[in-house]
A and B are shown apart, each in its own frame.
Chain A
């Protein structure tokens, strides 16, 4: 007999980015709300931001590598990853934003990933 062995479990980045993307839509009030607000054009940026945030936060990819994968500049990735979540929340609540030129999709994706991580953590503790 030998100890139990666990083989490598490569992370499913696509699935994770998709979950962050869907969570971000949920945070803005669902896809119907996006239709009502005429904001469906946010979706491509949101998908891009979901990938960037997942890769940076959970896989520690440098901005250059994320930029290569997404086909954008590394400056764009850095701008997206720096997006302040608080300013995005203000914007979503319809308040006058305290900061301008904020990457909405980047902030939303960060909020979404944090929400997902919180949910998973509470799920782990319950089990």
Chain B
């Protein structure tokens, strides 16, 4: 949305929600960010792999369609939501699908952001959870998002959230191209769907320790 605002063509490839729903959701985000609706209509190119299943089942068709979109609209950025959709029920082939896709995007000089879901067997806040099935190692960097239910008094104190609520966490797991922040942060999703990166957990813990100390003094 940020790059589409000044009119830079960006491709949005969906494997999850069908095109009309994605379009509606993009319009909501644009509204929340104050991006004019015309900017989306002009700069966002939608590829609907949720409806056209040949795109998820045939890598050749997918790459050929992406090449067509990049060539035709001179796109420079690609968002894939989500990568997991390409290897549903064939997770063993995940790397075989992700590597060619990664090399293709490199070859076409694209800045790409790919979403991937974690499986229940994957541990929270790990690279495995971010990429799943070791595909995170193929990509240049991984941003890990996690949900954590607050179930103990200690957690409630740390996250400053009542017991029973759920908190979002965010961490950069690795970046091959540059240095990065290694801390785990609180993450909030606004009702409009915008993501806000909050304070570091270490800062929150310090605050919690201070308040605990005060209580003890009292």
Contact = CB atoms under 8 A, between A and B. Distances in A.
Interface of A: 1-11, 13, 58-60, 121, 124, 127
Interface string B27-42: 0000000000110110
Nearest to A11: B64
B61 A8 contact: yes
Q: Name A's interface SS.
A: loop
A1 B107 CA distance: 32
B103 to A, nearest CB: 11
Given A6-B11, A6-B45, A8-B61, 11 more contacts: A3-B44, A3-B46, A5-B46, A5-B47, A6-B46, A11-B61, A59-B60, A60-B60, A60-B96, A60-B100, A124-B71
Given A58-B60, A124-B71, A6 B40 contact: no
Interface string B49-67: 0001011001111011101
A4 B37 contact: no
B41 A9 contact: no
A9 B64 contact: yes
A59 B57 CA distance: 12
A11 B58 CA distance: 10
Contacts of B54: 8, 10
Contacts of A59: 59-60
9 contacts: A3-B45, A4-B46, A5-B48, A6-B69, A9-B65, A10-B54, A10-B61, A59-B59, A60-B60
Nearest to B4: A3
B55 A1 contact: no
Given A11-B60, A13-B60, A6 B41 contact: no
Contact of A60 (B52, B55, B59, B64): B59
A47 B201 CA distance: 61
Contacts of A121: 107
Interface residues of B, number: 36
Nearest to A4: B45
Contacts of A5: 19, 45-48
Interface in B98-143: 100, 107-108
Nearest to B68: A9
B20 A2 contact: yes
Interface of B: 11-12, 19-20, 23, 26, 37-38, 40-41, 44-48, 52, 54-55, 58-61, 63-65, 67-69, 71-74, 96, 100, 107-108
A94 B142 CA distance: 50
A14 to B, nearest CB: 13
Contact of B26 (A3, A7, A11, A60): A3
Nearest to A125: B109
A3 B79 CA distance: 14
Contact of B41 (A2, A13, A58, A127): A2
A10 B38 contact: no
A33 to B, nearest CB: 32
A1 B43 CA distance: 12
Q: List 5 tightest A-B contacts by C-beta distance, closest first.
A: A59-B60, A11-B64, A3-B44, A9-B68, A9-B65
Contacts of A6: 11, 45-47, 65, 68-69, 72
